[in-house]
Amino acid sequence: MKRIFLGSMVLAALLLMSMTQVETPAPAEESVVKWMTFEQAVEKSKTEKRKIIIDVYTDWCGWCKVMDKNTFNDPEVARLLNEKFYPVKFNAEQTADVVFRGTTYKFVSYGNNGTHQLAAVLLNNQLSYPSIVFVEEDFKSVSPIPGFKKREEFHKMLSYFMTGYYKNGDAGRAEFEKIYKSPYSVSNP
């Protein structure tokens, strides 16, 4: 009886082990955005000029997390960010100082919360998360754009900024609309 019990336990263990999949780490995908710190982007831009895209977020922001998962992880968005921009993640509540153009930006505490001064400057004191800030090669902020963006909308925004059509106002927008080809189709979820 002990042999039958022991045999059935070994068989059950083997069966269970064969059904359990061993999790292996996923290979690094090309669709992953290579995020930088603000300081890294500024340093890199000294040798190779590129526009900078800053994702201003907070740890508690639910829509920031959704944008990370659904927009920034999209292969087309990630490719464009990595190839044409310096993509920066900036936590609006980080406590570390940031020195930029001779000014030291600090975390300012108020009550149980606080905001980093650089986030306030980048967002023109309109603190909304997530927000995307487009920065020219010469570090002039074009404009912060608040709110969650789906991958299709964000890809179009990146392309618009990348091509420079935004510099020509409404005429530039109309011209861009004529040439923009979305990589997304109805059959491509």
pLDDT in tens, 14-32: 333 333 333 333 334 456 9
Which pTM does this prediction carry?
Answer: 0.79
Instruction: State pLDDT tens for residues 82-96.
Output: 999 999 999 999 999
Q: Given a cut of 50, is residue 130 above it in pLDDT? A: yes
Instruction: State pLDDT tens for residues 63-112.
Output: 999 999 999 999 999 999 999 999 999 999 999 999 998 999 999 998 88
What average pLDDT does range 44-54 have in this prediction? 94
Instruction: State pLDDT tens for residues 136-177.
Output: 988 876 689 999 999 999 999 999 999 989 888 899 999 999
CATH number of 28-179: 3.40.30.10
The domains of the chain are located at: 28-179
Q: Given a cut of 90, is residue 178 above it in pLDDT? A: yes
* Distance of alpha carbon 131 from alpha carbon 147, whole angstroms: 6
Per-residue model confidence (pLDDT) at position 143: 84
* Distance of alpha carbon 121 from alpha carbon 105, whole angstroms: 9
* Distance of alpha carbon 1 from alpha carbon 9, whole angstroms: 12
CB 134 within 8 A of CB 161: yes
* Distance of alpha carbon 29 from alpha carbon 31, whole angstroms: 5
Per-residue model confidence (pLDDT) at position 23: 32
What integer best gives the mean pLDDT of the chain? Answer: 84
Contacts of 57 (CB under 8 A, 6+ apart): 64, 68, 89, 90, 91, 92, 129, 130
